Amino acid sequence: MKIVQSYWSKPGNENCSWMKNEMHYFCWALSCLKLKQHYDHVELVTDQKGKEMLIDRLGLPYDSVKVVLDDLNDYPKELWAIGKIYAYQQQDEAFIHVDGDICIWDRFPERIEKASLTAQHEEDCYEFGSAHFQNLLDIKVNYFPPEILKYRKENNQKIVEANAGILGGNDIDFIQSYCKEAFNFVDKSMDQALKAEHAGMFNTVFEQYLFYCMAYTKNKKVNYLFEEPINSRFEELVRVMDVPYASKFIHLLSFHKKPLLHNQKVMQHLWYEFPEFYDRIKKELYN
C-alpha cells in the first residue's frame, strides 16, 4: 500500500493552531518517520518551498517526492484543503493519504488497506459542520454539486462528512471523479464561500462532505478506520498517554494542537525514537 502526504506551503503554518509554529515540523517529522517504519513507499506531494524545508533542510526520508503544488498558487491560501485534493488527483494506484498531524505505531488494518474507499471516521451532524453549511446556503453560494443536493434531498438535509485525516482507497476511478468535482465546486463557488463567516470551513464542505455525498449517490461503501462514532471533541483520536501500547494512532487535529501535554508528547516521542531528526530540526529552526 502506498502512503501519501501533502504539504502546500502557501497557507503557511499560521492556521495550524500549535502552541508554537515550529511544532508543525516536529509533528510532521514524527508523522513521516512513523509511517516509514510500517510502509515501504511513502510519498510527499508538495511545492518548491515545501521540498526545500521538508526534504532539503530536514532530510525527511520520503521514497518519492512530487513537486507540483505550485500549480495551485492562484488559489487563495484560505483553501488549504485544495492541496490535498490535488495530491489525491496525482495518484494512479491504490493509496492512503495521511495528514501530517497523524502518527501511527502500527500498520493500518488490512480492511483499510484493501478498501475500495477509506476515510478516518464518519462525522454525523457535527454542529460546526452543519452551521457552516447553513451559512453557505444563507449567502447563496450559486453552485453545489448534484451529489450534495441529491443526498440532502433524500436524507432530510443531514450533514454527514467523511473525516479526511486519512483518505484514499483502491477505487482510483471514483477518487479521480471526486477530485474533478471538488475542483469544479471550488472554482464555481469560492468567491461567495470566502465571504462567509468562518470561510475556512468551506474546506470541509468541498473535501469531506462532497466525498461522503458522492460515495452515497454512487452506492460506494466507505470503510472507516474508526467504525464507532467519535464525538465532536475527538477525544478518541488524541490518546497521547496511551501510545504505543493501548493506542496505535493519534491525530492532533484542530484545537488538540494547543494543549501543552500534546506538544510535549510529540517532542518526547521524536526525541526518544528518532533523536537524529529531533536534533536536526532544533538546529534548523533555532540556529
The DSSP string of 26-53 is HHHHHHHHHHHHH-S-EEEEE-HHHHII
Q: Are residues 100 and 182 in the same domain?
A: no
pLDDT at 24: 93
Q: Does the residue 285 lie in any domain?
A: no
Q: Are residues 185 and 220 in the same domain?
A: yes
Is pLDDT at 206 greater than 70 in this prediction?
A: yes
pLDDT at 116: 98
Q: Does the residue 287 lie in any domain?
A: no
In this predicted model, which residue has the larger pLDDT, 86 or 235? 86
Calculated CA dihedral for residues 206, 212, 215, 218, nearest 10 degrees = -80
The 3-state DSSP class for residue 161 equals strand
CA distance 175 to 162: 13
Residue type, 13: N
Q: Are residues 176 and 251 in the same domain?
A: no
In this predicted model, which residue has the larger pLDDT, 123 or 67? 67
Q: Are residues 184 and 245 in the same domain?
A: no
User: What's the structural domain count of the chain?
Assistant: 2
pLDDT at 13: 59
Q: Does the residue 34 lie in any domain?
A: yes
Domain end position, chosen among 230, 252, 269: 230
Please compute the mean of the pLDDT values over residues 251-260 and round it to a whole number: 90
At 80, list the grid cell: 488549504
Q: Does the residue 20 lie in any domain?
A: yes
Q: Does the residue 152 lie in any domain?
A: yes
Please report how many Cα atoms fall inside a 13 Å half-sphere around the Cα of residue 150, on the Cβ side.
12
Query: Please, what's the largest Cα pairwise distance for the chain?
Result: 57
Q: What is the pTM (predicted TM-score) of this model?
A: 0.95
Q: Are residues 9 and 56 in the same domain?
A: yes
Q: Are residues 153 and 241 in the same domain?
A: no
Q: Which range marks the domain in which residue 172 is found?
A: 119-230
Q: Does the residue 14 lie in any domain?
A: yes
Per-residue pLDDT tens for 127-179?
Answer: 666 666 777 777 778 899 999 999 989 998 788 999 999 999 999 999 999 99
